[in-house]
Structure 1
Amino acid sequence: MLVRLRNIILHVLGASFFALSCASQSLMAQSYPNRPINLVAPYSAGGDSDFSGRNLAAVATKYVNQPLIVQNIVGASGTIGSLKVRNAPPDGYMLLISRVGSQAIVPALDSKTPYKWSDFTFISLLDLNPMVCVVKSDSPYKNIKDLIQAIRSDPGKLNYATAGPGTSQHLSVEIMLNAANLPSSAATMIPYKSGGESSAALLGNQVDFVCNTMTTLAGQIKGGSMRGLMVSTPDRLKDYPEIPSSRELGLSQFEQATGWSGLFGPPGMPQEVVDKWTETLKKVAQDPSWEAGNKSAGAIPAIRSPSETELFVRQQVQLYEKLGTSLGLRK
């Protein structure tokens, strides 16, 4: 009898605690946000995640009525910053500016990544960063056909710079070569420590070409130091009408090579907090300042629903798992 009574009391107490916990989370969500929100950019200042975070912060602050503070927490191909958010309290006050590298490529290629691609609360995509293949402005290769013909004619002679094996710069070239029915060995990869160093290598005549995000290379293209040969979009970009799209060049497979940023949270975020961000981002998407910020950096606004974002990331992971397997990069 005493045992039964004890079990009844424990059950009632447990149910009460659960109800109080749910009520507490609901109240927290209703008052969210009531203090500054940290946006973790897992790559260095000046990079794509840094741009996306600061562009979002500049516009969304007026809609959430709280400061949005971008923190660059870098290292290990973006996994250090990503892991910090994955392990943060799910209260919506620390969010991740996710990137294709840290959220799709690294988990797809390295089984020792300290998180799975799905270990986050998906809030939205933010922007797409088309990949663009470039040469130095005085290069003899005037268009992508010239470059591919040179690669085909003398396999292994031409080289390209990347921020390392398995990065988006490397894999985008692999996709380009595959689209042109060329093996990986047709062009030689020269790894550097960062995308900035790879750009400097091209300008210093150390390599023949580079493929990187338009966000990263927009300044050099606009400034005339680099010539764009192909962009990974179905149509030409309005601000770069001189650069042909991969589709019109018959290399539509290159459209898969797209950089992107998103807004993710720790696992288990209350639905009310996610909903508040969904409503906020609908306003951001209509804000002229958001459009202008993306335009200035050659990025394409891409705000989507949480479910659409999760599906997009899943497809990206599957793409890089398949590509990594074919190239022997998975470990």
Structure 2
Amino acid sequence: MRRLSRRALIAALPMLAGPGTARAQAAASYPAVPVTLVVPFSAGGAADIAARLLVGHVRRHLPNPQGALLVENRPGASGAVGTQFVASAKPDGQTLLLARVASSAILPAIDPRTGYAWDDFTMLGLLEETPFVLCVRADSPWDSLRDLLAVLREQPGRIRFATTGTATLLDLGVRHLFATAGLPIDAALAIPFRGGGDAVAALLDGRVQFLGTNLSDALPPLRDGRLRGLAIGTHERLRILPAVPTAREAEVPGLADVTGWSAVFGPAALEDVPMRAWTIALAALRDDKSWQDGVRAAGGVPRLLGPEETRAYLRGQVALYRDLGRRLGLL
């Protein structure tokens, strides 16, 4: 009988040991190859910040803490390009998605051309929510949201605001504000940018006059005084921005319905080993003070939900934006 070489014998050990042992070894070594976390928006925005914060902390909660986690930005089409890429990836746990409200809830809710459904993914967990904030430059003549709305009524279509696409939070949140205030949804001129970071930069250098965005995008210039917050979609004032009025104080309580969020998704039918590894790792963030402090410092609010809770949350988000799209005449 032909003898097996040492290399062949080592390769055969998992099979000789049985499928249970092989699965255990695979689980213990995950990730044995680099895992790519796809961000469907450009670098510097809320999605990118959330992804880089996550990979910096979650690796120590995975079975193989030395495994490589890579962030890859694939922006385009309001986040649809990167999201579709993950939807079409192999379900082997090597390609995951940093899901965001625009690409994973708003687009499937209001744009029938979207190439994926909201539930075409394995939902691993919600990470955090990000309040929506309306802001202007510090040298703006508008000291309050009421001042800005008055100008929009007097000069409809003249004032410019930054957006990241017609089906993103930056666009939909502002148009929701217009509708709530009794203005037409085209009360200001939308100027498109590739991501939230670019939109904030455009406000700072004067290419646009106001902006509604995720707090994490605008927090640094709000804190250092380059931007002025007119309203934030929270029920109480934030300790980190005590001077910014809440949506209710600014007389637009409906603005609190609009919020950003981040989650981790995999392709549909994700294999058992990565699914279990990520579910456990994300749950461990509940006791990870350094990650939670990082989320708060970036302008987010930690809200960790498990897979089934995340699916229910997303179902509710899709319903919310579908209804909002109808009310705004976008459907």
Same fold (TM over 0.5): yes
Equivalent-residue separation in structure 2 for 1:181 and 1:323 (angstroms): 15
Equivalent-residue separation in structure 1 for 2:215 and 2:179 (angstroms): 21
Deviations 1:35-80 (A, max 9, x none): 3322111222222222111111111111115222212223332222
Query: Hey, what does 1:228 align to over in structure 2?
Result: 229
Equivalent-residue separation in structure 2 for 1:139 and 1:292 (angstroms): 32
Matched positions, count = 311
Query: Hey, what does 1:6 align to over in structure 2?
Result: none
Equivalent-residue separation in structure 2 for 1:271 and 1:247 (angstroms): 45
1:291 aligns with 2:289: no
Query: Hey, what does 1:45 align to over in structure 2?
Result: 43
1:74 aligns with 2:72: no
Asked whether the 8 Å contact 1:30–1:272 carries over to 2, the reply is no
Between 1:300-309 and 1:318-327, the stretch displaced more is 318-327
Equivalent-residue separation in structure 2 for 1:197 and 1:27 (angstroms): 44
In structure 2, the gaps of 5 or more residues are: 1-17
Equivalent-residue separation in structure 1 for 2:273 and 2:197 (angstroms): 40
> Where does 1:195-234 land on structure 2 (aligned, <5 Å)?
195-234=196-235
Equivalent-residue separation in structure 1 for 2:80 and 2:154 (angstroms): 40
The SS at the match of 2:213 is strand
In structure 1, the gaps of 5 or more residues are: 1-19
Asked whether the 8 Å contact 1:25–1:270 carries over to 2, the reply is no
Query: Hey, what does 2:258 align to over in structure 1?
Result: 257
Between 1:117-126 and 1:31-40, the stretch displaced more is 31-40
Deviations 1:250-272 (A, max 9, x none): 42211122111110011112456
Percentage identity across aligned positions? Answer: 38
Between 1:54-63 and 1:173-182, the stretch displaced more is 173-182
Q: CA deviation at 1:122?
A: 0.6
Q: CA deviation at 1:81?
A: 1.8
Q: CA deviation at 1:34?
A: 3.3
Asked whether the 8 Å contact 1:235–1:247 carries over to 2, the reply is no
For the aligned residue pairs, the C-alpha RMSD in angstroms reads 2.5
Equivalent-residue separation in structure 1 for 2:220 and 2:78 (angstroms): 24
Asked whether the 8 Å contact 2:78–2:166 carries over to 1, the reply is no
Query: Hey, what does 2:128 align to over in structure 1?
Result: 127
Query: Hey, what does 2:9 align to over in structure 1?
Result: none
Which of 33, 36, 49 is equivalent to 1:35?
33
Q: For the structure 1 residues 24 and 73, does the alpha-carbon distance in structure 2 shift closer, same or farther, using more than 3 Å as the test?
A: farther
Query: Hey, what does 1:8 align to over in structure 2?
Result: none
Q: CA deviation at 1:154?
A: 4.4
1:54 aligns with 2:78: no
Equivalent-residue separation in structure 2 for 1:22 and 1:250 (angstroms): 60
Q: For the structure 1 residues 253 and 271, does the alpha-carbon distance in structure 2 shift closer, same or farther, using more than 3 Å as the test?
A: farther
Q: CA deviation at 1:25?
A: 6.9
Equivalent-residue separation in structure 1 for 2:78 and 2:190 (angstroms): 18
Equivalent-residue separation in structure 2 for 1:84 and 1:185 (angstroms): 32
Between 1:154-163 and 1:241-250, the stretch displaced more is 154-163
Q: Which runs of 4+ in 1 moved over 6 A?
A: 20-27
